[in-house]
Amino acid sequence: GGVGKTTLALAVYNLIALHFDESCFLQNVREESNKHGLKHLQSIILSKLLGEKDINLTSWQEGASMIQHRLQRKKVLLILDDVDKRQQLKAIVGRPDWFGPGSRVIITTRDKHILKYHEVERTYEVKVLNQSAALQLLKWNAFKREKNDPSYEDVLNRVVTYASGLPLA
């Protein structure tokens, strides 16, 4: 956690969303699924991608079926942020043929096994920052500029070392 998966996914979403018929960035899948259940997440996705309000589902299986049938001809971009269970992917993205040609599903997770189980085609592992980049990011966030008082240099270097490449942690 804290390496920037969500930030990177959001940047990609903002960059490419206009190339799709419909798009949806579903943040905090783990938390929202635990709080409200899979039907709630499916309703959000269907509402955003179909432009319909008040979609009531009786079960997550009904939601999965509706996603599959109603979106199979649409070119969609769907980003699922912080997935932590296989069931979430089963209920929301099922198989690649659930969406129209050219569609893309981007998943952020801390658990690579979920992606393997779901037979995800391509993966990208976000790496932690090196010492120099981590220090630069910390300075920008702490001081809103790259140059700072030299008396802070030692403590900033210790913070970056302690944070192991995750300076905003």
Q: Where are the domains of the chain?
A: 5-118, 131-163
Q: Tens of pLDDT along 38-55? A: 999 999 999 999 999 889
Query: pTM surpassing 0.85?
Result: no
Q: What pLDDT band is residue 23 in, cutting at 50, 70 and 90?
A: very high
Q: Tens of pLDDT along 48-102? A: 999 998 899 999 999 999 999 999 999 999 999 999 999 999 999 998 789 999 9
Residues 6 or more apart whose CB falls under 8 angstroms from that of 135 comprise: 156, 157, 160, 167
Provide the sign of the torsion angle of the four alpha carbons 85, 76, 108, 163, taken in this order.
negative
In the DSSP assignment, the letter for residue 96 is G
C-alpha–C-alpha distance, residues 6 and 65, integer Å: 28
